Chain A
Amino acid sequence: MEKCPSVKSILLLDSEGKRVAVKYYSDDWPTNAAKEAFEKDVFTKTQKTNARTEAEIAMFENNVVVYKFVQDLHFFVTGGEDENELILATVLQGFFDAVGLLLRGNVDKREALENLDLILLCLDEIVDGGIILETDATVIAGKVASHSIDAGAPLSEQTISQALATAREHLTRSLLK
């Protein structure tokens, strides 16, 4: 109980249960086969429900699963059986809304795959190793979308100095060996 609220997995599946992007933060599923079996389970058990207006929730095999669907995309956040359901729902909402912002409202599988880099970055900004990083959708989307060129040193100069640094590093390593 004294544990930090933790997320065990975040899944984004399509309307046939295939992976769009998934992220696991727990050792409960050691192999890819175990993960796929879990996804299949989650998908089939929630498939028939209507989770389009409000996030829905289900529980099986010691996992609490909160989920929400839009178009042909199914969003899932799962946690341990003792996890506060509302915390998981908050994470789900953050993920769901951030994806909506990043895809500018056109949330479907095609758009998600076209912008998979954004989805992956988005996952990376929500949870780190099971610990919730951020749940506010605008903040998450803001972090993902900041696509400006670094205003640091000029490109050419930068590369040379960096190359030198790397070379120096290599040299000292090989000398020390």
Chain B
Amino acid sequence: MAQPLVKKDDDHDDEAEYSPFLGIEKGAVLQEARVFNDPQLDPRRCSQVITKLLYLLNQGETFTKIEATEVFFAVTKLFQSRDLGLRRMVYLMIKELSPSSDEVIIVTSSLMKDMNSKTDMYRANAIRVLCRITDGTLLTQIERYLKQAIVDKNPVVASAALVSGIHLLQSNPEIVKRWSNEVQEAMQSRAALVQFHALALLHQIRQNDRLAVSKLVTSLTRGTVRSPLAQCLLIRYTCQVIRESAGNTQTGERPFYDYLESCLRHKAEMVIFEAARAITELNGVTSRELTPAITVLQLFLSSSKPVLRFAAVRTLNKVAMMHPMAVTNCNIDMESLISDQNRSIATLAITTLLKTGNESSVDRLMKQITNFMSDIADEFKIVVVEAIRSLCLKFPLKYRSLMNFLSNILREEGGFEYKKAIVDSIVILIRDIPDAKESGLLHLCEFIEDCEFTYLSTQILHFLGIEGPKTSDPSKYIRYIYNRVHLENATVRASAVSTLAKFGAMVDSLKPRIFVLLRRCLFDSDDEVRDRATLYLNTLGADGAMDETNEDASEFLFGSLDVPLVNLETSLKNYESSDEPFDISSVPREVKVQPLAEKKAPSKKPAGLGAPPSGPTATVDAYEKLLSSIPEFSSFGNLFKSSAPVELTEAETEYAVNVVKHIFDQHVVFQYNCTNTIPEQLLENVTVLVDSSEAEEFAEVASKPLQSLPYDSPGQTFVAFEKPQGVPAVGKFSNILKFIVKEVDTSTGEAEDDGVEDEYRLEDLEVVAADYMQKVGVSNFRNAWENMNPDSERVDEYGLGPRENLSEAVNAVINLLGMQPCEGTEVVPSNSRSHTCLLSGVFIGNVRVLVRLSFGIDGEKEVAMKLAVRSDDESVSDAIHEIVASG
């Protein structure tokens, strides 16, 4: 078909214009498709028409249902032709049209005939087409042929059947699972790709059977797998087995590690890389295990192929996050990659270097990066900025050069996202490195002098208002801020006014000058700016009002709005103007829809402007805020500990409920998080009836019902109990969810007026001793232990009865006490006969507790334990023993 191309350099334009499909039009091609109905078929012409149809589809054109059906029926006529090329196009066309099930029937017999044809090409393709368009009922009819095809001598046919099997397994698993024997036979095939497809299918058939997968891997890793692709698959499955067996074998030789390591010497690069990557991703990989993998990746770094360099540097970059020391050997190769043509590779190399670099190399690195920054795209620059931020947090002493770098690039051209990343980084550095504060703030001030992004300007002004007054010389920032009032748009002007007011409130010496500036703003052209200026002048007492307003003023200026904005908005909308002024305390404080933040993947980016730095305490803070906003509970004092949510319902029940136990000094609050999973129902007045008859020391004092619980938007109801102060009271509670259920018309979303009272039994809930213990680690257990009063030590021995192994016994005691294991002592080496575990925690009443556990196991698997406790309070030491004795 291919004609020799005549080079015509002079009429290049013509050539660019030329296309055999120029001016092609759907209607016309559909007309042309009539040739399919000719009694004397012209295969060549038919092929061309199909190609045109496929071209149209490929360009994104769509056929209506009628058009598709017509084309389909016309195409089926072409099965009469014996032209191989045409038949192949027919197959393609049928796959593209994805006919409906009653249409499929028309071609089934033709395809089944092709499946049994003598021509291998027909067989392979017919299998793929038929399996693509078929449904379950038809599949049973052709199953016999497919099983035969799997073990066919021709590798193309076998592969076609196996790949089809992989697809069909999703829709008809029970049928495909019956092919195990044939698939296993295909595994022995001499053809490389058949082996690959057979392995993929066999694993998918058995994927829910851990033992079978493990056996499969064990046998294959010993044998020879021919295809590199199959080898890659096997590596992936091996890692799965290693992961799943991780619980039993903690140290010593990792099973299958030898196999992975041997793959590093495979002749195919894809296998070497797959194995190297797999090793770096092993759980708790040791540096000895890492070394050979790093070595081959290092070789790839100097490969002539960009793909290889990229793959290697990307993997090393990931390794550098967890094991920076392991990657330092590659630093020289990495540095040469900074000048790589491929900017992705260069960026990855730089960020890796930033992670692995030591303090002394920072300055040299920064010099190299400065040259590099000018010729990469914004998206890469953001990555670099983020890497520099973490480097700066790692080496706070180097803040000067890193901060300079950030301020330099802040001055250069760049888009919003890039600038925001830089500003965020500077803000974080100011927060975390006190020495960097003054210079950082000045950099930000200079930036807003010439900042085209309103959002960034307002955020920086807000930040200046908080941090600026606390510096040694707050007055130097005033000029920058007041300049904004002159030169910017209304939004920025308004926030500049707020910032000025904050300086006024915090720094008494500046107050008179601030007043002068604020008064000038009273003539601003914008309402908001004027309003703010007036408001602040009044709250700060510019008109000679008394000084005692000072506290109110700063409370007003710096306090955060403690009502949810959504609720405020609805309340304001409902407010009808009358003599009664709007009262902000009438705004309900309960959060309607609690964002399921914990379930979402943790966002990678650290919090920048606006959000406070988030840490592990974030959820506790959130709970504390939530609880203190409920008037009934506000008098309980400080929240000591909140437990992780405990599910009170099975998965996939009508109402999903879990509970969080909040421990206070004298109280316990149960927070029931409820989700209604029935679209046709609206629940109202949801409460939990708690029976505390098995928890004698607890007395119910308050409860807070949930007004309404619509479908799929979680809500909370609370029940509070009083308990003796400082005592780790334990008990069991049974719970019944009570509510009024209303039918909802799902089409309109409106609920009926009348509801029916109903209840729903939840599982029991227990308050255990571990709830009174905060997991707080110590960095040096030995020092901490020595520093505790030896008189507080209580030692006793316990028999724990027969256990599977030591590890199980250790975990049981850790969970019972709810304390933080220190120095990795919660891990028990496999087969060890004795073990010492160190625990640390803070008991209710803020009492520090350290525990030293010594375990021993004998031949009959009987476990004995010696428990030594030291704490700030002897009675707590005794309490710990009581917990263990009663547990």
How many angstroms between the C-alpha atoms of A162 and B78 in the bound complex? 11
* Contact B233 A4, beta carbon cutoff 8 Å: yes
Quote the shortest CB–CB distance from A156 to chain B (angstroms).
Answer: 10
Q: Which of B44-102 contact A (CB under 8 A)?
A: 47-48, 50-51, 54-55, 58-60, 62, 79-80, 82-85, 87-89, 92, 95
* Contact A110 B19, beta carbon cutoff 8 Å: yes
The 10 closest A-B pairs by CB, nearest first: A86-B270, A32-B60, A85-B311, A89-B307, A4-B200, A117-B51, A57-B310, A150-B82, A106-B5, A57-B307
Known: A106-B2, A116-B55. 6 other contacts (CB 8 A): A5-B233, A85-B314, A117-B89, A121-B92, A128-B160, A132-B196
- B156 contacts A by Cβ under 8 Å: yes
How many angstroms between the C-alpha atoms of A80 and B164 in the bound complex? 22
* Contact A85 B310, beta carbon cutoff 8 Å: yes
* Contact A86 B20, beta carbon cutoff 8 Å: no
* Contact B122 A59, beta carbon cutoff 8 Å: no
* Contact B311 A162, beta carbon cutoff 8 Å: no
- B634 contacts A by Cβ under 8 Å: no
* Contact B109 A169, beta carbon cutoff 8 Å: yes
Query: Which B residues lie within 8 Å of A163 (CB)?
Result: 80
The segment from B235-243, B403-411, B478-486 that touches chain A is: B235-243
* Contact A115 B2, beta carbon cutoff 8 Å: yes
**Of A59, A104, A116, A133, which is within 8 A of B51 by CB?**
A116
How many angstroms between the C-alpha atoms of A30 and B239 in the bound complex? 32
**Of B4, B5, B128, B307, which is within 8 A of A66 by CB?**
B307
* Contact A22 B58, beta carbon cutoff 8 Å: yes
Chain A, interface SS category: mixed
Minimal Cβ-Cβ distance residue in B for A61: B379
Residues of B within 8 A of A (CB): 1-5, 15-16, 18-21, 47-48, 50-51, 54-55, 58-60, 62, 79-80, 82-85, 87-89, 92, 95, 105-106, 108-110, 113, 117-119, 121-122, 128, 132, 156, 159-160, 163-164, 166-167, 193, 196-197, 200, 203-204, 207, 229, 232-233, 236-237, 239-240, 269-270, 273-274, 277, 281, 304-308, 310-311, 314, 341-342, 344, 379
Query: Which B residues lie within 8 Å of A84 (CB)?
Result: 232, 270, 273-274, 277, 311
Minimal Cβ-Cβ distance residue in A for B15: A110
Known contacts A84-B311, A106-B2: does B83 contact A120 (CB below 8 Å)? Answer: no
Kindly name the residue among B3, B110, B163 whose own CB sees the greatest number of chain A CB atoms within 10 A: B163
How many angstroms between the C-alpha atoms of A90 and B273 in the bound complex? 13
Query: Which A residues lie within 8 Å of B314 (CB)?
Result: 59, 85
* Contact A162 B19, beta carbon cutoff 8 Å: no
* Contact A110 B88, beta carbon cutoff 8 Å: no
* Contact A149 B109, beta carbon cutoff 8 Å: no
Known contacts A66-B307, A118-B1, A131-B163: does B84 contact A148 (CB below 8 Å)? Answer: yes
* Contact A132 B229, beta carbon cutoff 8 Å: yes
Jot down 19 A-B pairs with beta carbons below 8 A, ordered by A.
Answer: A1-B281, A2-B237, A21-B58, A54-B305, A58-B342, A60-B379, A84-B270, A86-B270, A87-B232, A88-B307, A106-B5, A113-B20, A129-B163, A133-B163, A134-B159, A149-B84, A150-B83, A165-B109, A173-B105
Known contacts A120-B51, A147-B85: does B18 contact A110 (CB below 8 Å)? Answer: yes
* Contact B163 A2, beta carbon cutoff 8 Å: no
Minimal Cβ-Cβ distance residue in A for B228: A90
Minimal Cβ-Cβ distance residue in A for B170: A129
* Contact B92 A124, beta carbon cutoff 8 Å: yes
Minimal Cβ-Cβ distance residue in A for B43: A149
How many angstroms between the C-alpha atoms of A84 and B236 in the bound complex? 11
- A70 contacts B by Cβ under 8 Å: no
Query: Which A residues lie within 8 Å of B110 (CB)?
Result: 162, 166
* Contact A87 B270, beta carbon cutoff 8 Å: yes
Query: Which A residues lie within 8 Å of B236 (CB)?
Result: 1-3
* Contact B232 A5, beta carbon cutoff 8 Å: yes
Interface string of A133-150 (1 = CB under 8 A from B): 111000000010011111
How many angstroms between the C-alpha atoms of A54 and B306 in the bound complex? 7
Chain B, interface SS category: helix
Query: Which A residues lie within 8 Å of B20 (CB)?
Result: 113-114, 116
**Of B82, B128, B163, B273, which is within 8 A of A86 by CB?**
B273
* Contact B308 A86, beta carbon cutoff 8 Å: yes
- A19 contacts B by Cβ under 8 Å: yes
Query: Which A residues lie within 8 Å of B54 (CB)?
Result: 116-117, 120
Interface string of A47-80 (1 = CB under 8 A from B): 0011000111111100000100000100000000
A interface residue count range (under 10 / 10 to 19 / 20 to 34 / 35 or more): 35 or more
Minimal Cβ-Cβ distance residue in A for B278: A1
Known contacts A84-B232, A143-B121, A148-B84: does B4 contact A106 (CB below 8 Å)? Answer: yes
* Contact A87 B229, beta carbon cutoff 8 Å: yes
Query: Which A residues lie within 8 Å of B306 (CB)?
Result: 54-57
- A171 contacts B by Cβ under 8 Å: no
* Contact B342 A131, beta carbon cutoff 8 Å: no
Interface string of A92-118 (1 = CB under 8 A from B): 000000000011101011110111111
* Contact B119 A152, beta carbon cutoff 8 Å: yes
How many angstroms between the C-alpha atoms of A19 and B21 in the bound complex? 12
Minimal Cβ-Cβ distance residue in B for A19: B59
How many angstroms between the C-alpha atoms of A149 and B122 in the bound complex? 12
* Contact B5 A110, beta carbon cutoff 8 Å: yes
How many angstroms between the C-alpha atoms of A86 and B228 in the bound complex? 11
* Contact B304 A50, beta carbon cutoff 8 Å: no
- A26 contacts B by Cβ under 8 Å: no
Known contacts A57-B344, A85-B311: does B19 contact A113 (CB below 8 Å)? Answer: yes
Query: Which A residues lie within 8 Å of B1 (CB)?
Result: 114-115, 118
How many angstroms between the C-alpha atoms of A173 and B203 in the bound complex? 39
Quote the shortest CB–CB distance from A132 to chain B (angstroms).
Answer: 6
Quote the shortest CB–CB distance from B786 to chain A (angstroms).
Answer: 46
Query: Which B residues lie within 8 Å of A166 (CB)?
Result: 106, 109-110
* Contact B342 A121, beta carbon cutoff 8 Å: no
* Contact B83 A149, beta carbon cutoff 8 Å: yes
